[in-house]
Amino acid sequence: MSKLVTISKAAGLIRDGDMVAVGGNVLHRAPMALLREIVRQGKRNLRIIKTAGAMDVDLLCMGDCVSSVDAGFISYETEYSLASHYRKAVQEGIAAGNEHACYTVMCALRAGSAGIPFMPVKGLVISDLIEANDYFRRIKDPFSNEMVTVVKALRPDVALIHVHEADSNGNAYIDGPLYDDILMSRASKRVIITAEKIVPDNKFAFAQNKAQIPHFMVEAVIKAEKGAMPCSCLPFYDIDRPHLDRFKGCKSKAELAAYLESCEKMDNRS
């Protein structure tokens, strides 16, 4: 059965207060078209999960969509400096910044995917993160009696993942670095896919490269050509620096609204 929907309908599947895992890494293959629609629809109190984020989290924070962020790194790559809207939201107490190391986010997602309550994180022995983030505990290893740090499982309500190809049933394929997207799809209760290309339904059955995200995990699929812009989605396109600079220049809600309106055609909003 076809799971193809419009981007407006897909964003409507996300509920206020949902824990949302966002795919991609920093300025690469983030589901930006869908995130822009989430901001347009005025979603609120989203709890964002991201290993390493940038514009995706910054945009959601500027749109007042976020109540907390669990992440190992939130910042633009070197030439673009800090994620100022995320920083402002945390400083002003609008959003809680639950700081992780990147690999502790992955460990928490692994625990969520396995259906267990926590995961040991061997490398986190002495760190201020243990005190700063309530998701960490120090417990006694019952086998060695040594103390070990554990991280609480993350089980997102929904994962938003941009891929290179998907069929109408929801089978999805990423061409290149997977980042943490496959792990997010396994840990999350629901998955929404945006795809550069919609391919025939029989492609993955006969292709050498099989879908990494199977259809039965996916709730909805959106055809979103250039759906990661202004982030990259190689080999199709690289970072669009003028577009990114345009967003970085937004300082007010009116400027954000104008930016979102200017992107409507590119986002194939309907």
DSSP 141-152: -TTT--EEEEEE
Q: What's residue 206's pLDDT?
A: 78
Torsion angle (degrees, nearest 10) of CA 233, 237, 240, 244: -10
Does residue 141 lie in a domain region?
no
| pLDDT surpasses 60 at 270 | no
Give how far Cα 88 sits from Cα of 40, 64, 95, 219, Å.
20, 11, 9, 33
Beta strands in 41-188 (DSSP E): 46-53, 66-74, 96-99, 118-120, 136-140, 147-152, 158-167, 172-173
193 domain residue, yes or no: yes
What is the band of 269 on the pLDDT scale with cuts at 50, 70, 90? Answer: low
Quickly state the pLDDT bin for 116 (edges 50, 70, 90): very high
Q: What is the CA radius of gyration of the chain?
A: 18
Per-residue pLDDT of 31-48, as tens digits, reads 999 999 999 999 999 999
Where does residue 67 rank: exposed (0-12), middle (13-18), buried (19+ CB within 10 A)? middle
Confirm whether 129 is domain-assigned.
no
**Maximum pairwise Cα distance, the chain:** 60
The domain that contains 188 carries what CATH number? 3.40.1080.10
- Classify residue 166: in a domain, yes or no: yes
Quote the pLDDT of residue 244: 93
Neighbours of 23 (CB within 10 A): 30
What domain range is 41 assigned to?
A: 7-113+156-261
- Between CA 35 and CA 38 the distance in angstroms is 5
Bond from prior residue into 177 cis (ω within 30 degrees of 0): no
Could you read off the pLDDT of 231-254 as tens digits, one per residue?
999 999 999 999 999 999 999 999
- Residue 1 located in a structural domain: no
Q: Which of 57, 25, 56 is nearest to 177 (CA)?
A: 25
Q: Which residues pair with 25 in a beta bridge?
A: 28
Query: Domain for residue 137, yes or no?
Result: no
* Arithmetic mean of pLDDT over the chain: 93
Residue 150 covered by a domain: no
The per-residue pLDDT for range 61-90, each reduced to its tens digit, is: 999 999 999 999 999 876 778 899 999 999
pLDDT tens for each residue of 211-229 = 999 999 999 999 999 999 9
Question: Encoding tokens for residue 13?
Answer: 């599947």
Domain annotation covers residue 227? yes
* Sequence-ordered list of residues with C-beta below 8 angstroms from that of 254, at least 6 positions apart, any chain: none
pTM of the model: 0.93
Phi then psi for 88, rounded to 5 degrees?
Answer: -65, -45
Say how many domains are in the chain.
1
